A and B are shown apart, each in its own frame.
Chain A
């Protein structure tokens, strides 16, 4: 029996052994004797088993000692590292210090641990090379005992995740953040560096400047390595991982394979999911799923943005997100820059309702009836003996509300100003062409007013068709179908004696269709 050997060692002798084990200085004590070796094996057995729990508990209490930094305060804890805020003792500036979690290393085999350490250092060196105003700069690398660390700029603010989770943020603001981040990501992509772990948690918004900054560049592999090896719960969620990466991860290949499957387009995918998550304020994966199940969900696309329609997100943004999160990498935006461009366009889109409140209502309630009444009136006037000039006045009455709106909607952003100018040109050209057509027909068919209008209306409809085709380029693409419809209407007008009525009805319907379907009218 082991217990009976106790008698051979007194408590004082045991205290000496205990201190020797603590200090690691085991030469001065005789561990070779039977009691000594038994003592040591029991100590080591219990200590090894207790080690993971000890590191988990110990890391709560005291921050590690980092050379050059004082006043370390724990700020956040990720899958791989703990982030502290520390005062740099030379510059007297607060930096963020990310330290690899000691309990991560404690639980792994020696080889894995040294590999993880090496990788952490390599990745932080990579991150240190990246410089951009929207990327959190890395200052310094080092090692505290066994744990590697790096320091970076302390960003005073919250992550996009916290900001969008706690309160609703305007889509414009979120899109602006993601646009800037996408541009930054694009720049580093061109240097051949991939981020690999873009998610709202990694995007920090500096409070004073409202500037989004992305952190943890290139550190994804580490998180992936630790989560996949441990199959564990809390480290990096796979929710933002592209399906091709999830597939590589799930097939149980090494993390190097996952890294190899990482491309520019997998970062584009993550940017798209990040945008969706920030806009909707929830995580893309369904609740109560383990990381394994989440990975499987990502592979088959069983994610909220694929299965639910979020009415809070405008259809145009939904289209952009869908293009990012396509399961086929080839159909995504080919670069992050392209995505940024699409988002910038969305930000600059004309929003007529904002520049001129109730424009949509105006189109339905005022412009459409005016056009309809003018068409009906012209038809009536042609049947009676009304002077020609009166008829022309009624014909052109429809332009009045159109140009009145243009004049009223002056205050707009840069992109919208461009659109405004374009619309002015198109509709002013429409007016000029109509007036010159009117004059030419007036000269040709001087006394025959009936014949004059029979020709004028098809001509007018053809010009309108042209105007809508011109608008379809930079505005709602549906305008080209409106253009086609007006071409058909022009032909119909030549075949019937009811051209003015037909015009009035068609114009009124067009107004209502535009007010209902053109995005720039819908979004307030």
Chain B
């Protein structure tokens, strides 16, 4: 089924927050300040717009796969650039690791036509949550990403964000409630 260019452009825009959340979750906190997730996504979407003719031909799953692979290249390029600039932060990251994580996320989020419906549903919920993350204030978003997507403990998050544990608990709680509301609204639409 062929889409018009306008439909594809809208579709790409709809995916922007999902891609940003993914990129933020993937980039280790050590890179923060050196690599900006939303810049990388912006670059990826620009590339997508340049290829919009080609992308309009694609179904949902291959389109998402294309975006993930473009984002992956941009993230890898950014990290390689950090490396050649001899930034300390990049020294401990193996590029192969990042590549692996993208492959796995693709598997997770690309909804294949033949997948069982629950998997589809779950993937949609995950995408919805990732999109909703971008509506949160940045400190809440960082707390939720560190806690739930990167799996750090309350104590670790408070050290990383340099605020008290109670403050982090508050950020997390308000962030999660906001997410829940956003997701419910989105679903209701």
Provide the bound-state CA to CA distance between A60 and B94, in Å: 10
Interface residues on B, range: 35 or more
Residues in A with CB closer than 8 Å to B26 are: 57
List A contacts of B106 (CB < 8 A): 233
- Does A31 interact with chain B (Cβ within 8 Å)? no
Of B103, B150, B172, the residue contacting A234 (CB under 8 A) is B103
Q: Are A22 and B101 in contact (CB under 8 A)?
A: no
Q: 0/1 per residue, B96-129, Cβ < 8 Å to A?
A: 0110110111111010101100010010011001
A residues 1-33 touching B (CB-CB < 8 Å): 2-3, 6, 9-12, 14-15, 17-19, 22
- A50–B149 contact, CB under 8 A? yes
Q: Which residues of B contact A18 (CB under 8 A)?
A: 154, 165, 168-169, 172-173
The answer to whether B148 touches A14 (Cβ under 8 A) is no
Q: In the complex, which of the residues A3, A38, A60 contacts B178, with contact meaning CB atoms closer than 8 Å?
A: A3
- Residue B81 at the A interface, CB < 8 A? no
Known: A6-B174, A57-B149. A49 touches B129 (CB 8 A): yes
Interface majority SS on B: helix, strand, loop or mixed?
helix
Residue of B at shortest CB range from A106?
Answer: B108
B176 at the interface (CB under 8 A from A): yes
- Complex-state Cα separation, A24 to B14, whole angstroms: 37
Q: How far does the alpha carbon of A425 sit from the alpha carbon of B104 in the complex, in Å? A: 65
Min CB gap B75→A, angstroms:
13
A444 CB within 8 Å of chain B:
no
Asked whether B100 lies within 8 Å of A77 as measured between CB atoms, the reply is: yes
User: A42 and B176: CB pair below 8 A?
Assistant: yes
Against A, the Cβ 8 Å flags (1 = close, 0 = not) of B48-87 are 0000000000000000000000000000000000000000
How many chain-A residues does the 8 Å CB contact rule pick out? 38
Given A2-B177, A49-B129, A57-B151, check contact A11 B169 (CB 8 Å): yes
**Which single member of B100, B107, B144, B149 contacts A233 (CB below 8 Å)?**
B107
| B108 contacts A52, C-beta separation under 8 Å | yes
Residues of B participating in the A interface, judged by any CB pair closer than 8 Å: 22, 25-26, 97-98, 100-101, 103-108, 110, 112, 114-115, 119, 122, 125-126, 129, 144, 148-151, 153-154, 165-170, 172-174, 176-181
Listed in ascending order, the chain A residues whose CB lies under 8 Å from chain B are 2-3, 6, 9-12, 14-15, 17-19, 22, 38-39, 42-43, 45-47, 49-50, 52-54, 56-58, 60, 77, 103, 107, 230-234, 292
